[in-house]
Amino acid sequence: MASRIRIQLWDEAVELSDGFNRLQHAGLEDPALQALTEQLIIERTLRDFQLVDGSQDLPPQELLKRHRATLNEKQRAQLDQQFKDSPHAQEQLTQQLRVDYRLKELKRRLIPSPMIQDAFLNFKTQKEAVIFQLLRLTTENLARELYYRLTHDRLDLDSLIRQYAEGKEADEGGLAGPIPIGKLKPELRQQVLMMKPGETSAPFLMESGHWVILRVLRRDNITMTPDIENQIRDSLFANWLQQQVASAKALPASFNQSRLSQINPELCQR
């Protein structure tokens, strides 16, 4: 039978589910209530997935040993000092590591590798930076003539920019960047994503009405690493959790009554 949890709500002690409903009906967006809702959703999902906590099979010293292996020298020294200062520090850290293990496994279940790969393409677009040269022209005919001279007569793009570009582009040689690809205008972004460093685009029309010849000089190439994978997974999990919280708030009665009485008290104290 699930334990009943009581909280102090102003001058009255009430059951957690009743307190939750009262705060919501009063329109109070309390950070603690938000955190409690998130934790409840996580606990519910852990049960739905029937997630086996493999960390329970590990003795505390083994958990601490594995944790220390992930720390640098300075962090290990700080951890050792915490253990000396507080007699309960090791026990508290062990409990936290077990909770973190369950959350990590839940993220892996909810956000599998195919989802990470799909999100990585968008991540690359947003984070990779590019340096390019740009020749902006007012007429299509001139743009196509200059492109022909570039590709067939082997003229130098720098000289064409100095001769035909307007304003600061002529002074700066048409150089731009480094700029994150995700921040480029849609027409430029589409071209850059199709090009390799050293390539020159055919003239294309911008929304402004200008015709542009573009040459990519340098482009970052971000590859998947464990840190990036964790970053993407954490971001997708946060989005998922936000959606679940929104759904819970939309259905407060059914959500609160069916779920709040089952919450894990230990995790509420995080």
**Segments making up each domain of the chain, as ranges:** 6-55+95-113+227-268, 129-219
Three-state DSSP state, 12: strand
Q: Which residues are registered as beta bridge partners of 180?
A: 129
Residue burial 247-259, b: 16+ Cβ < 10 Å; e: rest: ebeeeeeebbeeb
Classify strands 211-219 and 204-205 as parallel, antiparallel or unpaired: antiparallel
> What's domain 129-219's architecture?
Roll (3.10)
Q: For residues 22 and 29, what is the distance between their CA atoms, to the nearest angstrom?
A: 12
Q: pLDDT over 70 for what percent of the chain?
A: 76
Global pTM exceeds 0.85: no
pLDDT, tens only, 38-83: 877 887 787 777 655 555 567 888 888 888 888 899 988 988 888 8
